[in-house]
Amino acid sequence: MSSLRVLGIDPGLTRCGVGIVDVDRSRRATLVHVGVVRTPADADLAERLAGVAAGIRAVIDEYRPSAVAVERVFAQQNRQTVMGTAQASGVALLIAAEAGLPAATHTPSEVKAAVTGYGSADKRQVQTMIARILRLDEPPQPADAADALAIALCHAWRRDGAAAGAGAAGLTPAQRAWADAERVSRVSTRVARTDVRLGR
């Protein structure tokens, strides 16, 4: 298989981020889909979980990922938020199993380290790096969508055995992606300056 298509899921009841990337053998990533499954806060819990399930099923049916990655639930002060996130996470893993897709969970720090090289990066830093890695004009919004893409990238790179250490060039996937993005940015800037000098 020339590339791996991963569905990343940032679980939640109000907003469940979903993002799909294709990652080729050189670990270059391409955006396939990004979005958010939303459910009304005043709806019954069962109805909200059904809405999350329907949204994830629709994405799987349309884009046919090869694997699913879900952010692992971690303790927070808000117990209600933790419960909702855990329930949505369980739904995501169930849907993956029903579809016959391999699924894994990754902690927030694992995801942040994979895409930024820093396990305590904030949401803005994650969004900025996702835009650079996927060559987007601007960071994905809302943050849940960017987080879903980060989870997908983390899974693809860790599965390839590269996120845990340096690659052949001595760089992690995140560092290589940043360097690639910087090179593209420099080339684009040089082209723009040339156009200005030539009066285009």
Please, are residues 147 and 111 in contact by the beta-carbon 8 Å criterion?
yes
Task: Find out whether 144 is annotated in a ligand binding site.
Answer: yes
CA–CA dist 176, 8 (Å, integer): 21
Residue 153 CA, chain-centre distance (Å), reads 6
Asked if residue 8 lies in contact with residue 21, where contact means CB atoms within 8 angstroms, the answer is yes
What digits encode the pLDDT tens for the residues 125-179? 999 999 999 999 999 999 999 999 999 999 999 876 543 343 434 445 555 555 5
Q: Is residue 144 flagged as an active site residue?
A: yes
> Quick check: 131 and 184 in contact, CB under 8 A?
no
Q: What percent of the chain has pLDDT over 90?
A: 66
Determine whether 71 is an active site residue. Answer: yes
Residue in 10, 22, 110, 147 annotated catalytic: 10
45 vs 28: CA distance, rounded Å? 39
Domain residues of the chain, as ranges? 3-197
Tell me which range, 16-20, 73-77, 79-83, 190-194, is most confidently predicted by mean pLDDT: 16-20
- The reported pLDDT for the residue numbered 47 is 97
Q: Express each pLDDT in 168-190 by its tens digit.
A: 344 455 555 555 555 554 544 44
**Alpha helical stretches, state H, 64-139:** 79-98, 108-116, 123-133
Residue 191 confidence (pLDDT)? 43
In the predicted model, is pLDDT for residue 2 greater than 50? yes
Catalytic residue among 22, 71, 110, 147: 71
Q: pTM for this one? A: 0.79
Beta bridge partners of 193: none
Place of tokens 């799987």: 60
What architecture is domain 3-197? 2-Layer Sandwich (3.30)
Evaluate the omega torsion of the peptide bond into residue 139 and state whether it is cis, within 30 degrees of 0. no
Between CA 145 and CA 160 the distance in angstroms is: 23
Mean pLDDT (the chain, rounded): 84
Higher pLDDT, 81 or 88: 88
Q: Is 44 annotated in some ligand binding site?
A: no
Return d(Cα 46, Cα 62) in angstroms, integer: 24
